[in-house]
Structure 1
Amino acid sequence: MQSETKPHILLIDGMALLFRSFFATSAMGHYFPNAAGTPTNGVQGFARHTMTAMSIFKPTHMAVCWDMGAHTFRNELFDGYKAHRPAPAPELVPQFDMARTVSETIGWKNYGIPGMEADDLIGSIIETWTDKAEITVVTGDKDLLQLLRPGVHIALVKKGYAIYDLYTDERFVDEYGISPIQFIETKAFTGDASDGYPGVKGIGPKTALKLIKEYGSVEGVVESLHELTPAIRKKITENMDMLLLSRKLAEIHCSLEMDEPLEELEIPVYDSRIRELIEKEGYTMITKQADSLYLN
């Protein structure tokens, strides 16, 4: 995976790992409260996930990207964007800040920009370092598959801490028959139920993929409406505004300035000072994980 000459950057979707870790343990009633009684299950799971990913993918550099609140520029485009999602569990709420603090304590480079999603930061880092570094993204979000290109791998968390569904751009093309960037075009038609935008009602993944294979883009489909069956043409015409809006919502924003020197993303040295700071906060599972990875 790692080039002999290029650095290898590991990008962690911090919120995705935090949520995944929280729900994996809270479902069994395990919150691992600290001395103050504050739950730590999501925080500790996030850090353990990240450390395991480092041991598997062996990066030379890394960064963790975070969402900074629920409101983003996509809410300005569409009021319904993620609006239907329930409020986070009260046991999770304090862990948002705690997770980032732990990440900073360990020494990992952290990124978060108000109004932007972690996806947008990851996309912009990829845009910045394409051709200059190998990049592996750890996430649970298939939306990031649109970022695939030569030298970029998307590792979708599959099971536990160590099993990933690893995508390359070649694998994506083999499976879908379109380029990764065209994944945006298919989502414009299908929408995204988890993000709360509908796309074109009545057009599912198979039809969307067929349309993009044939016409290349939303624009290409719209220009060729006269060639479509009356039923599909009617669906698109009746939902045209939402189709065009969904196209905007589906696209990851990749033009943020993320041009810090590569040295800022170097892997930190895990030493006794950092261990003591983590242990002092009651994060015993993190220290155990770190000890097994770094001290053995």
Structure 2
Amino acid sequence: MLLKNQVMLIDGMALLFRSFYATAMSGYFMINSKGIPTNGIHGFVKHMMTAINTYKPSHVICCWDMGSSTFRTEMYSDYKANRGAPPEELIPQFDLVKEVVESFDIPNVGLSGYEADDCIGTLAKQYSQDSEVLILTGDQDILQLLDENISVLLLKKGIGNYAEYTTTNFLEEKGIRPEQMVDLKALMGDTSDNYPGVRGIGEKTALKLLQQFESIEGILENVETLSKAQKTKIKEDLEMLHLSRKLARIHCEVPISCNLDEASIKINRDKVFEKFSELEFKGLDQFIS
């Protein structure tokens, strides 16, 4: 079946944070005459427009985290508790970047209590029924969403460099299917999201176990055949293993929707440049076709 639409779902926070830290490390915050730092937004536009110009999607939607409190923090209070408060130069850019996205007539989507990943997963499942979906992010967790009509573009260093993933090359690289990634994360944990999984089991062992037994259920059914050390670790951390799986799984039933008609690419240059002028942006004209 020929799919007429190609929908790009953008992980807004991933682009904003990457863009902010790209220049913040050298102390360059692009503070304008109003005293507002804009470095993250400036880089965000470069990343977003380079991807749009490269892949030429018919529709674009930007998804956002809506605060740090989510159903995952209710489930496990230490979830992402290792992350400090955002730098003060980044804080005013959270709301401003959404205004910039609006100036492109690109919908902003997010819902309190859920992460951007959950919104992306929900919309990807909806649209992939009859459209091709491209997800732009820097977060490998999203790879669990790979499906027949869902591809992932992982941002690499620089602008316009991506690791492109499909179900096929993911399987070739990892040796497991995308949906097994949830169990992989449950076993090995995630230091950036601050949940431990099974202590003492790393990626190499977790991959080997999943290749052999398919799933956590398969591993538990055969737990007596494992090495003594593996068996002990899994039995001791069984509760955390099951909790980590709940934390790792992207929730694809968020009560959100976005009419594709509203997401159709139709950039009004005057509207965009008016916003750029307000923020005193320079050097972005080449990115706006």
Q: TM-score range by the shorter chain?
A: over 0.9
Shift of 1:278: 2.4
Unaligned runs of 5+ in 1: none
**Residues 167, 183 of structure 1: CA spacing in aligned structure 2 closer, same or farther, 3 A cutoff?**
same
The corresponding residue for 1:256 is: 254
Equivalent runs, 1:102-113 vs 2, <5 Å = 102-113=100-111
The corresponding residue for 1:135 is: 133
The corresponding residue for 2:270 is: 272
Greater displacement, 137-146 / 4-13: 4-13
The corresponding residue for 2:142 is: 144
Greater displacement, 239-248 / 270-279: 270-279
CA displacement 1:21-72 (0-9 Å, x = unmatched): 0000011111001111111001111122101110011100010000001111
| Cα distance between partner residues in 2 of 1:272 and 1:240 | 57
Q: Does the Cα contact within 8 Å between 1:270 and 1:294 map onto a contact in 2?
A: no
Q: Does the Cα contact within 8 Å between 1:128 and 1:258 map onto a contact in 2?
A: no
| Cα distance between partner residues in 2 of 1:223 and 1:76 | 30
| Cα distance between partner residues in 1 of 2:151 and 2:3 | 17
Q: Secondary structure at the match of 2:156?
A: strand
Shift of 1:129: 1.2
Mapped pair 1:159 → 2:173: no
Shift of 1:188: 0.4
Mapped pair 1:180 → 2:174: no
Shift of 1:172: 0.5
Q: Structure 1 stretches (4+) deviating beyond 6 angstroms?
A: none
* AA in 1 matched with 2:276: I
| Cα distance between partner residues in 2 of 1:273 and 1:244 | 49
Shift of 1:4: 5.8
The corresponding residue for 2:76 is: 78
Greater displacement, 119-128 / 259-268: 259-268
Shift of 1:281: 2.3
Given candidates 89, 92, 100, the residue that maps to 1:91 is 89
**Residues 39, 294 of structure 1: CA spacing in aligned structure 2 closer, same or farther, 3 A cutoff?**
closer
Given candidates 209, 218, 224, the residue that maps to 1:211 is 209
Q: Does the Cα contact within 8 Å between 1:43 and 1:95 map onto a contact in 2?
A: yes
CA displacement 1:75-104 (0-9 Å, x = unmatched): 011010000111111111111111111111
Given candidates 194, 210, 230, the residue that maps to 2:192 is 194
The corresponding residue for 2:286 is: 292
- TM-score by structure 2 length? 0.96
**Residues 142, 273 of structure 1: CA spacing in aligned structure 2 closer, same or farther, 3 A cutoff?**
closer
Greater displacement, 228-237 / 253-262: 253-262
The corresponding residue for 1:9 is: 7
* AA in 1 matched with 2:228: P
CA displacement 1:205-262 (0-9 Å, x = unmatched): 0110111111111122112211111110000011111100000000000112444321
Q: Does the Cα contact within 8 Å between 2:61 and 2:107 map onto a contact in 1?
A: yes
Q: Does the Cα contact within 8 Å between 1:39 and 1:92 map onto a contact in 2?
A: yes
Q: Does the Cα contact within 8 Å between 1:182 and 1:217 map onto a contact in 2?
A: yes
Unaligned runs of 5+ in 2: none
Q: Secondary structure at the match of 1:155?
A: strand
| Cα distance between partner residues in 2 of 1:183 and 1:104 | 34
For these two proteins, the number of residue pairs brought into alignment is 289
- TM-score by structure 1 length? 0.94
| Cα distance between partner residues in 1 of 2:79 and 2:258 | 31
Give RMSD over aligned pairs.
1.4
Q: Secondary structure at the match of 1:253?
A: coil
* AA in 1 matched with 2:48: T
| Cα distance between partner residues in 2 of 1:146 and 1:209 | 14
Mapped pair 1:171 → 2:169: yes
* AA in 2 matched with 1:238: E
Greater displacement, 169-178 / 254-263: 254-263
Q: Secondary structure at the match of 1:280?
A: helix
